[in-house]
Amino acid sequence: MKRRSFIKKSFGAAAVPVFLNGLPLRTFANEFTKLTAGSPNDHVVVMIQLMGGNDGLNTLIPLAQYDQYAENRPFVAIPEEGNRKYILLNEIDPPEKQLGLHPDMSHFKQMYDEKLVTIVQNVAYENPDMSHFRGRDIYFMGGGTNDYWHSGWMGRYLDGTYEGYPDEYPNDEMPDPLGLEFGYSMSLIYQREEGIPAGMAIIDPESFHQLISGGGIDPPDWLPDSHFGDEMKYLMDLELKANQYGDRIKEVYDAGINSPNVTYPETYPGEVEEGYKKNDLAWQLQIIARMLSGGSKTKTFLVKLNGFDSHAEQVLENDTTQGVHAALLYHLSSAIKAFYDDLKDQDLDTRVVTCTTSEFGRRVNDNASFGTDHGTAAPQFLFGPMLKQQLIGNPPDLSNLDDGNLIYEFDYRQIYTSILFDWMETPLEILDEVHWTDFVDSRLDLFHTPDGIDDGKGFAAVTEMSVYPNPATTNTNLKFTLKKAGHIHLAIYDLNGRIVRQLFEGNKVVGEHLISTSVQGLKKGYYLVRLRSGYKITGKKLLVQ
C-alpha cells in the first residue's frame, strides 16, 4: 500500500474527534503527511539523454583488443598512431583493462584524472530492444523488455517523494518544479501513474516565462464525464501548473549567476557539417548551474544532445577522428567540464550528480556508409565529486558476441537504483513504487559515504541518533554515536525547512554523545531534528507539546 493510501485510510475517514497526545488525530494525519513529504537532502540529479544510440566502441576503445576492433571497423576505427590517435584513459590499470578515449574527449580525460567520472561498462538489460522508440521508453519507464508502463521512473519517484502533488504544490517548502526537462514536450520519464507529469518542459527560463504569462485557468465544472473531458482537464491542469511555476523559474534564474571564471563551449573546433557545429548541450547545463545558484530546489533535470543515430557519415571519409560523432563527443565532454567547473566555483558541485542515458549502443561491425547500426550494450557515464569508483566492469569482449552485438554486464537499473537509494536517500517504500526493490541488493557501489570522503573537511560518520523524551514539553535529549570523528551540524527545523534552534556546529570525537536542549519558546507541533555530516543527513521527528 502506498504511504498516501495508508494515511488516507488510517486518518481521512475519522468522523468524530479522536485525540492522540492531546492533538486531534486528523491534525496528526495532516502533520504526518507534511513530515513524510519531500526529499531528505538537497541533492540533484541531471540526466543527459544521448539521443539516437551512442556508439560506445568509438567512445571507449578496448585497447587489449585493438587489432580485433580495427578489423571489425575498417571504415570508422580510431587510429592508434598519429596526431589524432586515441587518448589513453587509464594508464595505471593493467593492459587488459586499459581503454582509449576518442581524441576529442580531452575534457573527459581531465575530469577522469580529477576523479570526477565513473564509467560503467556494458550497460543494457535482458533481451534489449533495438528500436529507438521502444528502447527509449524502456530506459525512461524504468522497466524491462516485457514491461509496458504508462509512467516513468522519475515520475514515480517524485510522486512518491512529494506527497500531495500536484494539488499542494508549489508551496513554501518546495516552491520549484519537481523536475525540469529541456524541450518542447514532456518525455515518458516524468509521467506519473495518473494525472499531469511530475516535471515540466521548458526551452529556457525567459522563453518559458513569456510563453505562459497571462495564460492558464482553472478547469471548468462543465467538462463532460468522458475521455474527451478527461483529456481536456489534463491539458488545462498542465497549463495551470505551468503558470503557477512560471514566475518562480524566472525568479531563480534572474537571482543566479554563472561563474565569471568559466567559459561554456559554443562550437566544435574540428571539421563537421554546419548543423553539428553548435554545442547544444552547453547552454542547457549553463542554465541549470545558474538556476541552482539562484536557489532552485528542483530535484531532477533532463537535458538532451541529439544526433547519435549514426547509420551513415558517423566519421569523415578521409578522417575517422572527425565528423558528427567526434563533434557530439566533444560537445558532451567539454560542456560537462564547464558545468562542473561552474558548480565548483559556486560550492554547488557536491550537490549534483550527472548521468548519461541512451536507448542502445551500436553494433561491433561498421557499415560501408561510414557508420554503425543499432546494437545493444554501451558504457554509461556518471559525473560529480561525490562518486566513489571510476571504472566499473570489464572492457567489452569482442570475441564473445551475440549475433554481432556486445553482451551486457550490468542492468541499467543497477545504476539508477544506486542514484535513488544512495544519492537521493529514497526510502524502500518509494523504491517499491518505482518498481526497483529487486535491484537494491545488486545496485552498484557508486557514492562516497561520509566516512569515505577524502576532501580535507573531516566529515564525521553517524551510526545512530535518538530523541527523548518525545513528545517533549520542557526539555529533550539528542543522543548520537559517531564511528568517525569530524565536523557535524545539529539543529531543529520547522516543517518548512527553517532552522528554529541551532544546537551544535563543530567537531566531535568518536563515540557516544548527548546534547540536551530546552524546547520552551517553540510553538506546539512537529519539528525535525537533523544532524548533518558532509552531504549525509540523519533526521528524527520531534513533537513539542
Q: Report the CATH number that the domain containing residue 402 is assigned in CATH.
A: 3.40.720
Q: How far from the centroid of its chain's Cα atoms is residue 382's Cα?
A: 10
Query: Collapsing DSSP states into helix, strand and coil, what is residue 5?
Result: helix
What secondary structure, in 3-state letters, does 83-124 show?
A: CCCCEECCCCCCHHHCEEECCCCHHHHHHHHCCCEEEEEEEE
**373 or 38, which is more confident?**
373
Tell me, yes or no, whether 199 lies in a domain.
no
Do 312 and 354 lie in one domain? The reply is: yes
| Mean pLDDT of all residues in 134-156 | 97
Q: How many CA atoms lie within 13 A of 61 on its CB side?
A: 26
> Is the pLDDT reported for residue 158 higher than 90?
yes
The residue among 414, 447, 480 that closes a domain is: 447
The residue among 432, 447, 462 that closes a domain is: 447
Query: Collapsing DSSP states into helix, strand and coil, what is residue 452?
Result: helix
> Is the pLDDT reported for residue 514 higher than 90?
yes
Do 263 and 129 lie in one domain? The reply is: yes
Tell me, yes or no, whether 225 lies in a domain.
no
Do 295 and 311 lie in one domain? The reply is: yes
Q: Helices (DSSP H) in 256-309: which residue ranges?
A: 282-293
Most confident of 232-236, 384-388, 447-451, 497-501: 384-388
Q: How far apart are the first and last CA of the chain?
A: 31
Tell me, yes or no, whether 231 lies in a domain.
no
Do 327 and 427 lie in one domain? The reply is: yes
Its sign, for the CA torsion 254, 256, 261, 267, is negative
Task: Note whether 515 and 478 are within 8 A (CB).
Answer: yes
Do 358 and 442 lie in one domain? The reply is: yes
Q: Helices (DSSP H) in 304-419: which residue ranges?
A: 324-345, 412-418
Do 316 and 283 lie in one domain? The reply is: yes
Q: Helices (DSSP H) in 22-105: which residue ranges?
A: 25-36, 56-59, 66-72
Tell me, yes or no, whether 344 lies in a domain.
yes
Tell me, yes or no, whether 222 lies in a domain.
no
Do 340 and 478 lie in one domain? The reply is: no
Tell me, yes or no, whether 119 lies in a domain.
yes
Q: Which three cell numbers stand for residue 108?
A: 573527459
The C-alpha cell 543527459 sits at 48
How many structural domains does the chain have? Answer: 3
Do 356 and 265 lie in one domain? The reply is: yes
Tell me, yes or no, whether 208 lies in a domain.
no
Of 460, 459, 478, 458, which Cα lies nearest the Cα of 468?
Answer: 478
pTM of the predicted model as reported, rounded to 2 decimal places: 0.76
Do 488 and 431 lie in one domain? The reply is: no
Q: What is the pLDDT of residue 147?
A: 96
Q: What are phi and psi of 230, to 5 degrees?
A: -65, -40
Q: Report the CATH number that the domain containing residue 535 is assigned in CATH.
A: 2.60.40.1930
Do 467 and 324 lie in one domain? The reply is: no
Quote the CA–CA distance of 488 and 505 in Å, as a whole number: 6
Task: Note whether 326 and 223 are within 8 A (CB).
Answer: no
Tell me, yes or no, whether 430 lies in a domain.
yes
Mean pLDDT of the chain: 86
Q: pLDDT tens digit string along 416-435?
A: 999 999 999 898 889 999 99
471 preceded by a cis bond (ω within 30 of 0): yes
Q: How far from the centroid of its chain's Cα atoms is residue 476's Cα?
A: 37
Q: Within the chain, how many helices (H) and strands (E) appear?
A: 13, 23
Can you give the residue range of the structural domain that contains 492?
451-544
**Helical pair 324-345 and 282-293, crossing angle rounded to 10 deg:** 10
Q: Give the chain's radius of gyration (CA, Å).
A: 25
Do 14 and 92 lie in one domain? The reply is: no
Q: Which residues fall within 8 angstroms of residue 455, CB to CB, at 6 or more apart?
A: 385
Do 411 and 282 lie in one domain? The reply is: yes
| Mean pLDDT of all residues in 238-249 | 76
361-394 burial code (b ≥16 CB/10 A, e <16): bbbbbbbeebbbbbbbbbbbbbbbbbbbebbbbe
Task: Note whether 242 and 250 are within 8 A (CB).
Answer: no
Query: Percentage of the chain with pLDDT > 70?
Result: 83
Categorize the per-residue pLDDT at 526 as very low, low, confident or very high, splitting at 50, 70 and 90.
confident
Task: Note whether 145 and 129 are within 8 A (CB).
Answer: yes
